A and B are shown apart, each in its own frame.
Chain A
Amino acid sequence: MSNVRSILASIWIGWYRDFSWTNPLLGLSLRTIPPIASVMAASIVYWWGSFHAGVFDPNRLAYIMIGALLYAHIAAYSMIPNLAIAEGKWTFVFTQVYMSPKSASPYLAGRTLGSFLSSAVTLFLALIAVYLLLPPLFGTSIPLVVTPLSFALFGLALVVNILASMGIGFLLGAYAIFATKFEWALPTYISGLLMIFSEALFPVTFLPGPLSQIANVLPFTEFIRAARAAMIYNDVSSYFYFLGLSAIGGLILLFAGLLAFRRAENRARRLGLLDRKVA
């Protein structure tokens, strides 16, 4: 029960950190702009290439739209444990957390969940915006399945993906405890790697052999496939198949992440490194 209270308090801290500097509506709007721009850029690149190559396909446009939205969403909240530790060392928030008798895990889980909720709202707003903006730009409709069921399945996929995203977040957090330099760059690496290896923009078969096989089994890849099965192909059986794979991969990643973080935290407590800021 006290873990739940810690998590809820941490969600609130995360929101306070993200939105207290301004009107929450303005803060949310500002956070919606980058994913819209990012999806539009990827869609235009596809349109430009396929139009001039004479192979434009609206289904592929929808494929890229969903993929680009989702990789940005995953990147937005999976990096939170890393950020909470790196920033928390400088603002002394993390010092307060580790001084408490508990592990920092509930705090980081709460921060991640808070960011997931904000990112899910901006994701839906961005989805609506690009769904309305892209057709007049390209003179074509986007074949998305817009039904209550497809949106419910899409929402469920977002929730299941929390396992994998939190898992990778804890892995990065384990690193951030000891890091004093490179941790600020990690989010851009995660976002960039997801762009290439999660089938966000193109099928993983475009990657060279071994990389393609690794990308093929990532829980993020399965999650994006499940979301597409719900929103584009209206294929419920494929949806549950991909979602199941995503959940299994996510659980493995979460277990590995929690284990790594617990070990890193214990080691850092023992060596007195938890609030080290400079190498």
Chain B
Amino acid sequence: MKLQPSIWLRTAYARMWVRTKSIYGEPLWVVVTIGFPLFTSLAMALLYRSTGLNSAVGFAVLGGVMISFWGNVLWSMASQFQWDKQQGLFEIYISSPAPITAILVGMSLGGIIGTAPSAALVAFAGWVFFAPPINPFWPGVIVVFGLTLAALYALGMTLASLYLVYGREAEALNEAIHEPVSLLSGVYFPSIGGFSPFPFALQVVASLIPLTIGMDALRRTLFALPGLPPAGFDAIYLHVIALSVMAGSLLVLAQKALKALEERGRRTGTIAVRQR
């Protein structure tokens, strides 16, 4: 008997390959994607340094690394189906036997692989320019980083499903939510817990965003925060549970939303209508 990977795996691999190839096949793409995270991270690091608190410069560098992935989730995951629809690619997806969830997962994996060089360059530049003091607990960093990406890209899949019903609104929505989510998630400063400037109610809202939990856990595992115990799994186990639950539930939600919208689109005949 000849073993063959399922169509789901083959589809996910194919979509991942296309995305990876489109990024690594054009090295200039790194230059395109690195601009925003690099400059914002440098500016925030200089702002921290201007206050005299050099120990917090690492927050800005970490923020730059994670904002690269958030940007990718928003612009290359959430909006992707909408762009595919404009170009007529989405019609091919739905008329082929390829499972849409496999396409989304492949797109996510390709996005992570493709964003990694930009994120690494931001980290490298931050290290070269500022040499921020770190006190890492590497096993925790690896676990939290992986789970944060899983939850973030699952959120991207959910948004991709929802954006299917929108036209130009999707672009405007992306532009409108990019900065506020970065603010609430505390990309450059702690937005939840004792160090947060936000009132409790706002911290609760912020905690619903996977990036918030991930950023908080990454700061705890990478930096020595005053008044907190040294980083270990004790300090982040709640974060790990929360991120795992978020990743799982967002994946299920994405699948259900996609199915519902696909059925609605087929019924009303609007699934492949290009609105602009």
Interface positions of A (Cβ within 8 A of B): 21-22, 27, 30-31, 33-38, 40-42, 44-50, 52-53, 55, 64, 137-138, 181-182, 184-185, 188-189, 191-193, 195-196, 200-203, 206-207
Contacts and interface: CB of A to CB of B under 8 A. Distances in A.
B179 A34 contact: yes
B183 A45 contact: no
Given A21-B169, A34-B175, A189-B35, A206 B46 contact: yes
Interface of B: 26, 28, 31-33, 35-36, 38-40, 42-44, 46-53, 56, 60, 167-169, 172-173, 175-180, 182-183, 187-190, 195, 197-198, 226
Contacts of A188: 35-36, 39
Contacts of B53: 48-50, 52-53
A185 B179 contact: no
23 contacts: A30-B175, A31-B176, A37-B180, A38-B183, A41-B182, A44-B183, A45-B44, A45-B189, A46-B47, A48-B53, A48-B190, A50-B51, A138-B197, A182-B28, A182-B31, A191-B36, A191-B39, A200-B43, A201-B43, A202-B46, A203-B50, A206-B50, A207-B46
A145 B172 CA distance: 34
B39 A189 contact: yes
Contacts of B52: 49-50, 53, 55
Given A30-B173, A196-B46, 17 more contacts: A21-B168, A33-B177, A36-B180, A41-B187, A48-B53, A49-B52, A49-B53, A55-B51, A181-B32, A185-B33, A188-B39, A189-B35, A189-B39, A191-B36, A201-B46, A202-B47, A206-B46
A22 B172 contact: yes
Given A41-B188, A192-B36, A196-B46, A181 B26 contact: yes
A112 B212 CA distance: 36
Contacts of B197: 44, 47-48, 137-138
A37 B47 CA distance: 17
B48 A49 contact: yes
A216 B51 CA distance: 20
A37 B32 contact: no
A202 B50 contact: yes
Nearest to A200: B43
The 9 A-B pairs at the shortest CB distance, nearest first, are namely: A192-B39, A49-B51, A37-B179, A185-B32, A188-B35, A49-B53, A188-B36, A34-B179, A202-B50
A184 B60 CA distance: 25
B173 to A, nearest CB: 8
A34 B180 contact: yes
A contact face: mostly helix, strand, loop, or mixed: helix
Given A33-B176, A37-B180, A181-B28, A45 B50 contact: no
Contacts of A30: 172-173, 175-176
A36 B40 CA distance: 16
A207 B129 CA distance: 12
Contacts of B168: 21
A249 to B, nearest CB: 22
A21 B56 CA distance: 42
A253 to B, nearest CB: 20
A41 B44 CA distance: 9
B180 A48 contact: no
B176 A42 contact: no
A45 B47 contact: yes
A196 B48 contact: no
Contacts of B44: 42, 45
A99 B122 CA distance: 43
